[in-house]
């Protein structure tokens, strides 16, 4: 089983870093996943989950792995880092998959993370989690690091549908919105970035929340649904197919790309006028 596993990129998440380290220590010790599982009283599948970064261990299990592999605190250090990670646990797996995706499709009630400016991201995080100011900066930087994929030679296709309220809601005020909308327009000039706007006058199947779809290199797809303080990653093919159909309907109902960019320009001009009046 271990031979069939693909290498994780430890930079994608702390869970991936922990999984990579565990696999190296296990290999160094000459143990299979089954043999290590027996030493710490869990199944080989549980070891595989940790090494894949899909289900991090409990404190009790990480302590047992430390002893079994003579890790000298390395595993515990990463596990403690994971507990303090700027990304919520439900986001870790999504970020890992997003880093491997060849196509990213989003419909959200805010500017999607891969298109956010630093000031807009900071304001969104501040409003969403007002009691955790110590994490704002770390989470903003984590979000901006995810955008680096769009600068890679093998960048994914990004298709974002913005609800019209995204353009009208003055997150951070006119100056922040001017910068943010200008950034979206600049990104939309790239050959793999497409942006549409869903008009307020349209009734559509995703009014109850956001939907994000990732297409991976092997052709498989996953869906991600995010609420105010929670998220659900859907990997079963049947419900994912339903969410893909929902996204196709959204894309058909939204304004065409060029009309959408015109709507963004119009909103940007409105914020610019506000800045002139207030200045």
User: Which domain CATH number covers 264?
Assistant: 3.30.870
pTM for this model (two decimals): 0.68
CATH of the domain at 74: 1.10.260.40
Q: Do the Cβ atoms of 146 and 101 come closer than 8 Å?
A: no
- 94 with 44, same domain: the answer is no
Query: Dihedral sign, CA of 96, 99, 105, 107?
Result: positive
The more confident residue out of 150 and 81 is 150
Helix or strand or coil: residue 122? Answer: helix
Q: Are residues 122 and 77 in the same domain?
A: no
Two structure tokens written together for 191:
């050959």
Domain termination site, one of 49, 83, 117:
83
| Same domain, yes or no: 104 and 76 | no
Residue 108 is inside which H or E element, if any?
strand 101-108
Closest C-alpha to 17, from 72, 97, 113, 82: 82
Are 167 and 34 in a shared domain?
no
For residues 67 and 98, membership in a common domain is answered with: no
Looking at 20-24, 68-72, 87-91, 188-192, which range is the least confident one?
A: 87-91
Verify that 18 and 106 share a domain, yes or no.
no
Q: Do 41 and 139 belong to one domain?
A: no
Q: How many domains does the chain have?
A: 2
pLDDT at residue 105, rounded to an integer:
97
Q: Of 67, 83, 99, at which residue does a domain stop?
A: 83
Q: Residue 167 to residues 111, 119, 181, 228: CA-CA distances in angstroms?
A: 9, 16, 8, 20
- Are 6 and 103 in a shared domain? no
pLDDT at 1: 38
Give 181's DSSP letter: H
- Other residues' Cβ atoms within 10 Å of the Cβ of residue 5: 13
Count of beta carbons in the 10 Å neighbourhood of residue 221: 18
Both 51 and 176 in one domain: the answer is no
User: Which of residues 28, 54, 83 is at a domain's end?
Assistant: 83
270 in the same domain as 192: yes
Reported as a single tens digit per residue, the pLDDT across 89-123 is: 556 678 778 888 999 999 988 999 999 999 999 99
The tens digit of pLDDT for each residue in 176-203 reads 999 999 999 999 999 999 999 999 887 7
Question: Quick check: 75 and 25 in contact, CB under 8 A?
Answer: yes
Are 117 and 22 members of one domain?
A: no
Segments forming the whole domain that contains residue 56: 2-83
Q: CA 26, 27, 31, 35 torsion: positive or negative?
A: positive
Shared-domain flag, residues 153 and 261: yes
Cα-based torsion angle of the residue sequence 121, 199, 155, 11 in order, rounded to the nearest 10 degrees? 30
């Amino acid at each position: 089983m271990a031979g069939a596993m693909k290498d994780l990129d430890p930079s994608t998440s702390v869970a991936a870093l922990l999984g990579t380290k565990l696999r190296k220590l296990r290999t160094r010790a000459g143990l299979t996943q089954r043999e290590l599982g027996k030493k710490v009283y869990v199944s080989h599948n549980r070891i595989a989950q940790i090494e894949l970064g899909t289900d991090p261990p409990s404190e009790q299990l990480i302590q047992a792995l430390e002893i079994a592999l003579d890790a000298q605190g390395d595993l515990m250090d990463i596990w403690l880092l994971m507990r303090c990670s700027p990304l919520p646990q439900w986001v870790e797996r999504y970020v890992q998959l997003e880093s491997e995706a060849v196509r990213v499709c989003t419909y959200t009630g805010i500017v999607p993370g891969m298109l956010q400016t630093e000031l807009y991201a900071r304001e969104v995080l501040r409003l969403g989690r007002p009691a955790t100011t110590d994490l704002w900066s770390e989470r903003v930087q984590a979000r901006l690091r995810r955008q680096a994929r769009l600068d890679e030679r093998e960048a994914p296709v990004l298709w974002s549908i913005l609800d019209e309220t995204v353009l009208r809601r003055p997150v951070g005020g006119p100056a922040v919105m001017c910068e943010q909308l200008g950034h979206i327009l600049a990104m939309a000039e790239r050959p793999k970035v497409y942006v549409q706007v869903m008009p307020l006058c349209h009734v559509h199947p995703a009014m109850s929340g956001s939907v994000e779809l990732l297409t991976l290199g092997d052709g498989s797809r996953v869906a991600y649904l995010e609420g105010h303080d929670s998220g659900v990653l859907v990997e079963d093919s049947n419900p994912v197919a339903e969410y893909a159909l929902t996204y196709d309907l959204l894309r058909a109902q939204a304004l065409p790309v060029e009309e959408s960019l015109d709507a963004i320009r119009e909103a940007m001009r409105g914020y610019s006028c506000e800045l002139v009046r207030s200045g």
